[in-house]
Structure 1
Amino acid sequence: MKELRNTGWYWGSLTANEAKEILQDTSEGTFLLRDSSQRDYLFTISAMTSAGPTNLRIEFKHGKFKLDSVVLVKPKLKQFDSVVHLVEYYVQLSRSTPPNGTVQLLLTKPAYTTTPSLQHLCRIAINRRTRRVHDLPLPNRLKDYLTDYTYNV
């Protein structure tokens, strides 16, 4: 849960209507993660799409997270050890896939609960450039801070 809280885009117990209100005046691709209001799911991604705010449930089964989907597509969806890895994957997919209609959902811009610190934004920028933080010519304390949150979203 610590890594989830560190993201800045995890809102905790937020209703679908509250998420819709937060996303209402944002651009397509803006998203947040919240606790699911449905008992069978832990989390929900709320995202602004071209059709307006939408919600995607995240399934947790056998220790893995994946997006909920129709039965025929479920076996094809990637599974992840953490919900942050899942979001990171779909953000990278959204940012790297040219807009040709194959990606129906864009996750490009997190809706932060509060303005992230400059330190955290720098950590994300460094993590986007390298996964080899321990090789950087930095003090150990700074390396520890960078490796405390290894995601690039």
Structure 2
Amino acid sequence: MTCHSPESTETIENERRTDTESRVVDSDETRIGQAMKDLKNTGWYWGSLTANEAKEILQDASEGTFLVRDSSQRDYLFTISAMTSAGPTNLRIEYKEGKFKLDSVVLIKPKLKQFDSVVHLVEHYVQLSRTTSKGASQSLAPPNGTVQLLLTKPVYTATPSLQHLSRIAINNATRQVQELPLPNRLKNYLTDYSYNV
């Protein structure tokens, strides 16, 4: 029979707590690092662009045109700047407990979907926007004078390569890249950016 003094029990609990906190930090660093890698591959991540600079870029763009940039607010990592029918607007992306989601009013926040990466989040809303814009009449205005947010066309920092555009087209056509009769090196390139936006 062994006895533990209160000090040794407290030490064990502190070590467990520290180990758990360390794993959470490692997990967050890994997830944010992967999100950054994915974003840099998109071509529509603009980095440390300011809200005014984003507004200038979007000023003459069509509704639904968007870009992702670093957030200028300390509590957020990223912001989507998009052109709406009322002009350019900014949506903050919240990161909490390993997931990314759009920031919103408290009442709607629990209903918003959460994603493992920023690109997954954008991909979801682009698909939703494409579905919504196909089914909706252009003459209908959103209720209560609100502005409908559409994400349909990214603004690239530079003209994307034909390889990258081909990768997006292939990923849009199939999620079975490993089954395609292609060399492994090409399959790796396709799966390195498995999004369709």
Specify if TM > 0.5: yes
Instruction: Give the alignment's TM-score, normalised by structure 1.
Output: 0.97
Moved over 6 A (4+): none
In 2, Cα distance between the equivalents of 1:99 and 1:38?
A: 34
Quick one: distance in 2 between partners of 1:63 and 1:146? 25
**Higher mean C-alpha deviation, range 138-147 or range 92-101:** 92-101
Counterpart AA for 2:130: R
Q: In structure 1, the residue corresponding to 2:67 is in which secondary structure?
A: strand
Segment of structure 1 superposing worse, 97-106 or 63-72: 97-106
Letter in 2 for 1:3: D
Greater shift in the superposed pair: 135-144 or 18-27: 135-144
Of structures 1 and 2, the larger Rg is shown by 2
Residues paired across the two proteins, number: 153
Q: CA RMSD in A?
A: 1.3
What TM-score comes out, normalization by structure 2 length?
0.75
| Equivalent position of 1:64 in the other structure | 99
Question: CA shift at 1:2, angstroms?
Answer: 1.5
Which is further off, 74-83 or 102-111? 102-111
Secondary structure of the 1:27 match is coil
Deviation of residue 152 (structure 1)? Answer: 0.3
Structure with more relative contact order (C-alpha pairs < 8 Å, separation 6 or more): 1
The alignment partner of 2:159 has SS state of coil
Provide the rounded CA distance (Å) in 2 between the counterparts of 1:99 and 1:86.
22
Deviations 1:80-124 (A, max 9, x none): 011111001000100112225489210000000000000000000
Give percent identity, aligned residues only: 84
**Residues in 2 aligned to 1:12 and 1:91: alpha-carbon distance in whole angstroms:** 20
Q: Which residue of 2 aligns with 1:34?
A: 69
- Give 5+ residue unaligned stretches, structure 2: 1-35
